[in-house]
Structure formats: C-alpha cells, structure tokens
A and B are shown apart, each in its own frame.
Chain A
C-alpha cells in the first residue's frame, strides 16, 4: 500500500457545476475591479465573462456583471466573499437558467466579402437584432445582441460568409417585470 506523503487532505467529491451570473454594485474607485477579479483568481474561481461600467455618476457606482461556474458551495462562497469587500455595496446572483432574468451579450462582427454574401450574412443574423453600423461594397460591420451560445452559433455560421473579426462583450443582466434586484 502506498504511503500518503501529504500534509493535506485529499480532494473530496464536488457538487454539480452550474453557471451563475453575479451582479455586483461597487464604488467606482481605483483598483476596485482588481479587488473583484483578484478575489476570483486568488480563490481559484472561474470567470467566463465580465462586464463593468459606471451606472450612477452621482453616487459614483459601477455595476459589474460576472458569469462564473461552480458547485453550489463555491457559488455561495463567491457571494459571501464578494460581500466582504469594502467597496462592494450589493451582490445579486442568478442561475443562468433563471427565467426571471434577461441576459444579453453584444457582438460586433466584421464581414469582408462580396455584396451577395453580405446579404446572406445579414440574413443569418436576422434573429439577433442585427444593426448595420458600417457598410461598403466589400464589407459590413454588424452589431448583434443575443445570448452567449447564440453568438457562438452566429459566429460559426458566418465563417463561410466572410467573417474576419468578432468583438464581444461580457453578459449584462436585468430582471423581468417590475421586480428589481435586492
């Protein structure tokens, strides 16, 4: 039998991994994003996407939206650890499957091809609120807003139609109906 050479315990089985979206209200001050992101990297949590911008100039508040994955225990820890940060005011946390919440990502897609294929490309995007931001004979820049996996799909489908560059944001979230985050 092999001897244990560890001063530490062996890892135990983990719970089911879910995707969660955290919305965090923070003071918009120097280093605040580093605190939030450093908490994730320091404790070994995962960040799938990140979106951050000031939402209230008067109160100097920024809203950070983080998509992450983890077991229920890890998700609970993330929420509790975030709440401990001094510049954090409020933390909300949703499962990706949560029907009461809208999640959206935006992508800017550049197509360089012939007019015919540009048309086809636009057609491919039609379900995802396409906006043409720039159009020449040889190219187009299309903006779409959709879910992450939908954008993944569009990008895959646009490859044959001359997609040369894709720029994407992280997800942002908002509750449906009159309800607000608490």
Chain B
C-alpha cells in the first residue's frame, strides 16, 4: 500500500508536477490546510496580494507574459466572489488560469454556512470548466484535468473548488503522466486541401490584408516568427487587433497599425476596401468590425482559429481553417515555398497599386495630434515613454480607457507577450496587478503599467504587494482627472454633459507612493517629462509616476457608432465636418 497524502498535500504535488513556480493568493478559513502545507514546498512561491481580484489579474499578467498558466489560490465566499472579475476577464481574453478556491466542509454545503457561496455556480459562466471536489480520490485527476483544460485549445480560466474536509482527507497520489487528449476538445485537424485553397486565394488577390489577433500570441512565440515569415513572403499588408500587438513588429513598414474603433485610418480603410481578408486568431469583435452590414463588403474572408465556435459567429466567412495558428501558418508558408510562390515578387505588380492606395491613406497621419509646449499631451507622454524605453526589453500593461488606446496607438511592440491589456472585458484596475504578475515572471525586466488616475484607484492596494516583494513595477499615470473615455463619449455624444466623470478629491499620488513605501514622481510640463521618465526607469523600486496631462484631449482616430470602417473621425478638425448621425440612440 502506497503512502497516503492529505488533500492539501495532493494539491501541491499536482502543482509541482505541473511545474508551477508561483501562485497568487490570499488566505482565509476555508483554505488554511492548503496554506499550512505551503511551507513544505519551497519550489512554489506564494505572492500575497491585497485583494483577490488582484491575485486573478496578477496571474493573468504572469500567464500572458510567459505563456504558462497562472495559478490563483483563494478562500471560500468573498475570496471566490472577489476573483470573479478576473476570471471573466481571463475568459474573454483567452488567458489560461487555474483558480483553486477553498469551500466550507462538504457537510455544511447548502446550509448558508459562514463564508459559504455557490462558487461553482457563480463561476460557471466565466470559466471554461469548473469542479467541486466532493471525494478526495477525485482530487488528483481533477487538478491535472484543470491544467489540461486551461491550457489546451483556446486557453481560458478554470476553477477547482475544494471543501475544507477534502483538504484534510487522505488519499494515494501517483506520479502524473500526460494523459490522452481530452474528450476531443483539442481541435487541430485542418487539411492540406484547406491550405491549398488559402494559397490559391492569396495568389489571386490584388488587395489582400492580414488581420491578426491574440490567437497568434496564444499560439506561442513560434507563431509570431512564422507570421513574420509569411508576411514577408507574401508582401501583404498586416493589421492587428488590440490583443495581437507584438506578434508582428509595430515599426515594420508592412504593418498598418492597430485596426478597429481607435485603429489607424489606413488599417480600417484597408479592411474596408480589401478583396481578401485573412483573419488569423482574431474573433471579429464588435470594437473591430464597426457596422457589421458594411464590414469589408468586397472581400473574400478567411478565418483561422482554434475555436470552431468563433467561426461564422459574427461574420460569415468563405474559408475557415480550424487549427492552431502556429501550425496553420507553418503549413501555409511551407506550401507557398513548395509551390515556389514568392508572392512578394510574383504579385508585386498586382498589389503595388494596393500599396499605393495604402500610402495615400497613410498620408492622413491619423495618429497625429497637436502637441503643446505648455501642457503635456497624453499621446506625447506615451511617445516619449516609448522612445526612452525601446532600447530595452520592456513589458507594458494598461488599465482601461483613453490611456489604454493611446498606449496601443503610440507604443510600438516588436515581440509577443510584451503587451498585457484587458480587451474583451475592459476591466479598469487590471494593469497594476497584471504588472505585478509580469514582474514576478520576469524579475529583471522593465515593467510599466500605463494607467489612468481613475483606473489605478480601483486596485491601488496592490502597490503594497509590489513593495512587499520588491517588484520594481512602474505605474505611469496619465492623469487628466477625468474618466477620460467616459468624458470623451459625453463630449461627442451627450452634449458635453459630463455626468459623474470628473474625479474630485484625487489623492496626491506622490505622497501616496511615499505612504506605501515606494517612490513618487510628478511631471507637470513637457520640458521636464524626459528627465523624469529617465529618473523613473533608473529607480530599482516600484514607482508611481503622476503625469499631469491635458484634461480635454480626446482619443482619435475613432469609428463612431453605427459607422463602417471607411467613415472615421480623424480629429477635432475633422469632427466638425463629420457629425455622428444615424440610429442607435436607444442603445447603450
């Protein structure tokens, strides 16, 4: 008879077998046995957060910067409910998370016990799958299955709810072997015929465009390499979603910039006018497509995605290829090479006109803004931050709002896994804890959270975590004293009725930094900006950088609601001539 282990020990044995090095968590009554066991497992480091939502986002940052699953440990009741936002965020952005939650002992489940909640019920719609462990003999299998589900196919969060008596109960543990593929949920069975069809479409196209998304990042660094090869081989222009930034170099000439609501003029017009649209690992999100009826009306559409339910969900496509992006791109490149099709050369004539058109769009310089020498323009601040950090391997996270869009527009990413932002759920307060997770995974790297003063206050407490573990994250706040994106919409669409979007009584962020035991820096005019940014970079401690920016600045370009890609607002000047009209007033 083999050794018997407690549930808590089995949890750690599973984590060790899964090669987990860090967990983010917060203790409480129903997980105490697991916390008690922590001391016996020196290879696993626990990061104590200040709020369970922070644990979830930190694990997301960890996962997105490494490609490994993030692990979260929380207690029952409020511990579990606090992590729901992070789980939903991870679900929307396809981030692999394994959340372990304590639960009241099995005999108390259903009795409204202290700190009891229906955790699996609450998290069912925001996880790929979840489990309530009712029998200690199931624990090992469930734990390993949890990692399998979180990391395979389209990644996402899972939750394992473990009642306290199960954590004490004993069972055998057998060394984990990689099991056979789960229940046919892993889909990577595209055919060469589909690849041939794709190559054929590429050959015929005269106005092609690649539209790539977070799927390329999720498919691993190899996918980004292969994407670069494919784009070079074809000579086609490429645009990326918010989540896909970094898969293709942001400063490359074939890159049109981000597309969508705040994407560039050239990217959105290319999407609208193209005759072949190749979607690689993106999901036709409503921030991308604009008005669906007029979305890319003249194109043949190809969709490459690992999740079959993403295909034809929003936009009907002509060719769908279900598979891992990395493998599909690899096969496509191989086929192109085998057929000796160097589209860049052979198609040059055909697509050169297309490139001429794109150059015309580019001359609009849609990301331009009117700079000032009196007041810091937020775009200018991001540009300076980029220029002063691009010589090192920098990781950027963001909160949600104007600053997020400015970061996406003006910070150029050259590598995958360097850009962590909450896109699908749009969670204010994501960036600081995410930056902590990124820094834990990449201790020597420069990690910056480009933040807004409203968002940062939602998870401000996590700066305490950064200080505790000496994680030198840099919180770069574009402080305009408004919920900027809300203010912008109110200006453009609600007759400048700035209802509740101004923050009175903001804290003094420099003093706040000092109170937390880190460093505060303030920049108030453009002349001192560079010097202060340099100062921030050179401090090997957490820094809160309070950058006072123009309060009235709006984020352009912008596709107004109810409009297709080719009807963008370009800026304050353009806006007067191009009023937002149409129906949809009653909608959100």
- Chain A residues packing against B (C-beta within 8 Å): 1-10, 12, 30-31, 34-35, 38, 42, 73, 76-77, 80-81, 83-86, 89
Contact = CB atoms under 8 A, between A and B. Distances in A.
A3 B580 CA distance: 6
Given A38-B124, A77-B313, A12 B293 contact: yes
Contact of A5 (B134, B313, B585): B585
A10 B583 contact: yes
A86 B184 CA distance: 9
11 contacts: A4-B581, A5-B494, A6-B561, A7-B561, A8-B584, A8-B587, A9-B584, A30-B134, A35-B124, A38-B125, A83-B308
B185 interface: yes
Contacts of A86: 128-129, 149, 182-183, 185
B309 A84 contact: yes
B507 interface: no
Nearest to A86: B129
Contact of A8 (B124, B149, B588): B588
Nearest to B311: A80
Contacts of A30: 132, 134
Shortest beta-carbon contacts, A-B, top 6: A6-B587, A80-B309, A6-B584, A4-B584, A86-B129, A10-B584
Contacts of B313: 73, 77
Contacts of B289: 9
A9 B284 CA distance: 13
Contacts of B292: 9, 12
B67 interface: no
Given A2-B581, A4-B493, 5 more contacts: A4-B585, A5-B493, A80-B309, A84-B309, A86-B128
A97 B310 CA distance: 28
B579 interface: yes
A9 B562 contact: yes
Main secondary structure of the interface of A (DSSP, over half): loop
A31 B159 CA distance: 14
Nearest to B560: A4
A38 B121 CA distance: 10
A83 to B, nearest CB: 7
Interface of B: 120-121, 124-125, 128-129, 132, 134, 149, 182-183, 185, 286, 289-293, 307-309, 311-313, 316, 489, 493-494, 560-562, 579-588
B312 A76 contact: yes
B562 A10 contact: yes
Nearest to A76: B312
Nearest to A39: B125
Contacts of B562: 4, 6, 9-10
Interface centre among A5, A8, A85, A89 (most CB of B within 10 A): A5
A76 B310 CA distance: 11
A9 B124 contact: no
B120 A31 contact: yes
B240 to A, nearest CB: 21
A2 B580 CA distance: 9
Contacts of A1: 579, 581-582
A62 to B, nearest CB: 15
Q: Most chain-B Cβ atoms within 10 A of its Cβ — which of A3, A7, A8, A42? A: A3
A92 to B, nearest CB: 15
B584 A5 contact: yes
Contacts of B489: 7
Nearest to A11: B587
A135 to B, nearest CB: 42
Nearest to B149: A86
A161 B119 CA distance: 50
Contacts of B581: 1-4
Nearest to A43: B125
A125 to B, nearest CB: 41
Given A3-B585, A4-B583, A8-B587, A34 B308 contact: no
B580 A31 contact: no
A34 B121 contact: yes
A148 B550 CA distance: 65
Nearest to B564: A9
